Structure 1
Amino acid sequence: MLLEGAIGDAYGAGFEFAEIEKIKAKNNITAYEIHPLFEEIKGKYTDDTQMSLAVAELLIEGKEWTALSIANKFVEVFKRDPRRGYAKRFYQFLYEIKDGQELLDNIHPKSERNGAAMRAYPIGILKNEKEILSKTELQASVTHQTEKAILAAQTIALTSHFFIYDKGKISELLIYLSDILDYEWKANWQGEVRVEAIETVEAVLTILTKESNLKSMLKKSVDFGGDVDTVASLALAIGKMNKNVENNLPSFLYDELENGNFGRDYIKKIDKELYQLKDARKNI
């Protein structure tokens, strides 16, 4: 799950807010592309995956789920491996603060953007839906304490949960979400995806409900244009959990994904430990 999310993130990063001409010419799933702003991150994941790793690690560690523990983990994973992809001001903010308490004391969490949703899918590994909702809301509120951002994050976590626990047919996904969240998702997104939380989730749900293999999910995510690394990361991470979706991603996407201290092998390790929670941590 996390590995495919990182692949979608890294591939999509090469097309993030790119001109439509570049997308049409080069979005053929044959190579990682250079990011429009940061040439050094070719084949590397961005903040989407780093913050998803933070959430996954906190679940695995089994620490008390509080705003401070979440904030501390966000700062920890950034400090150990500073990387581009964060919004410019938030990157500088994380660079300057020393711990989670300082993050909580100084952040203004009123954004309706997709930052809380992009990292929520690991929470779907939990068995209890009410706990998924509460934990997702708390992690969202640390940075995005708004109704739309929280709803979007909860939707992503529940969608992940739907496939991990095989809750029903793909045609039943939107009904499942509506029953729990009392919100009607349409899943018929068209056009460029901004960094807004609701738009991002609509785009992801459109991909998940209409595509039957990971390669087509990746291509369609980028074809939208806009914040495509987030859409691609979420679509691949969650799509991987659907037993009816074919994983036909080209091998280069795995082989050429970065493999430093927190790269491919590390993500595989966290993926394995996270999935073990499905059976081993019944009390989470």
Structure 2
Amino acid sequence: MLVELAIGDAYGAGFEYAPSSFVTRHNTLAGYVAHPTHTGLRPGSYTDDTQMTLALAELRASGARWTREAVASAFVTAFHRDPREGYARGFQAFLATVHTGAEFLARIRPDSDKSGAAMRAAPAGLLPTVDDVLHHTDVQAKVTHDTPDGVAAARAAALAVHYCHHGLGPVASVGSWIADRLGDGLWARPWRGKVGSKGVMSVRAALTALSGGGSLSEVLRSCVAFTGDVDTVATVALAAASRSAEIRADLPPVLVDGLENGRFGRDHLARLDAQLLLS
């Protein structure tokens, strides 16, 4: 799951808010694409979507208590050991100046309804019950996105992983199942058009691509074809899709092999994946 979501993130990063003509021309899965204007991220590198997910995955695998301070500490540790592009400018500057979870919590303004809590929600989706998923998701989401839409988007993203991982129904029905659990029919309505920065937008688009099923390659291309905040759409969708027995695992080797593989790259993600799936 972590490798696949990182591939979605890294591939989508080349297309984030790029012109639709650029997306149409290059969204072929033939390799990672250099963004037409953002030059700070090397093709094949993942962004904050994966780094923050990795922080939560490591926290879960460690067996430590799942608290607001532990979550905040995980974010701080992951950022300082491996600074990278991809964060919102203001949040990146904030992370650079905090050094403990307690300091993070004391200074953060957790009033965002954007996609940050949703993009990193996947590890909670592997938990055994819906109640477990929602509890863990709420704790991590409220650290930075303590708004109704920020939390709801994170819940929907985590539940998508849970639904696929536990085989709770056909993938085409994932949106309806989530809508029933969260009491909001919004999640069952297909997304159309460009994806903006709000978490609800990214997750609805991810659920739309996911529910189309088929293969990981098809899901990934569908995510990017929306245009807009597509690295987050692809991160959320591929996390869930990779856990579905219905969806064929066919990501091109050029994307698997081309994913960054430094200290916290592909091999680290794969080892952590194995730990999470056994826990």
Deviates more, 1:186-195 or 1:104-113: 186-195
**Letter matched to residue 80 of structure 2:** K
Shift of 1:195: 1.2
- In structure 2, the CA distance between the partners of 1:171 and 1:17, relative to structure 1 (3 Å rule), is closer
1:54 corresponds to which residue?
55
Decide whether the 8 Å contact of 1:114 with 1:196 is kept in 2: yes
2:227 corresponds to which residue?
225
1:33 corresponds to which residue?
33
1:201 corresponds to which residue?
203
Alpha-carbon distance in 2 for matches of 1:245, 1:27: 20
Alignment partner of 1:114 is 2:115: yes
**Letter matched to residue 25 of structure 1:** R
Decide whether the 8 Å contact of 1:187 with 1:205 is kept in 2: no
Q: Give 1:1-284 correspondences, 5 Å limit.
A: 1-35=1-35, 36-184=37-185, 185-277=187-279
1:280 corresponds to which residue?
none
Q: Runs of 5+ in structure 2 lacking a partner?
A: none
Shift of 1:188: 1.3
Decide whether the 8 Å contact of 1:187 with 1:203 is kept in 2: no
Shift of 1:24: 1.2
Decide whether the 8 Å contact of 1:41 with 1:84 is kept in 2: no
Deviations 1:214-264 (A, max 9, x none): 111111111111101011111112111110111121101011111100011
Alpha-carbon distance in 2 for matches of 1:218, 1:248: 11
Deviations 1:100-154 (A, max 9, x none): 1111111111100010000001111110211211110110000000011101101
Alpha-carbon distance in 1 for matches of 2:173, 2:13: 31
Alpha-carbon distance in 2 for matches of 1:211, 1:187: 16
Alpha-carbon distance in 2 for matches of 1:29, 1:203: 19
**Letter matched to residue 20 of structure 2:** I
**Letter matched to residue 43 of structure 1:** G
Residue 28 of structure 1 aligns to a residue whose secondary structure is coil
Shift of 1:39: 4.1
Alpha-carbon distance in 2 for matches of 1:60, 1:39: 31
Shift of 1:33: 0.8
Alpha-carbon distance in 1 for matches of 2:41, 2:192: 31
The normalised TM-score by structure 2 is 0.97
The sequence identity of aligned pairs, in percent, is 42
CA RMSD of aligned residues (A): 1.1
The number of equivalent residue pairs is 277
Decide whether the 8 Å contact of 2:213 with 2:246 is kept in 1: no
Residue 188 of structure 2 aligns to a residue whose secondary structure is coil
Shift of 1:98: 1.1
Decide whether the 8 Å contact of 1:38 with 1:84 is kept in 2: no
Residue 109 of structure 1 aligns to a residue whose secondary structure is coil
Shift of 1:209: 0.8
Alpha-carbon distance in 1 for matches of 2:98, 2:222: 38
Decide whether the 8 Å contact of 1:10 with 1:229 is kept in 2: yes
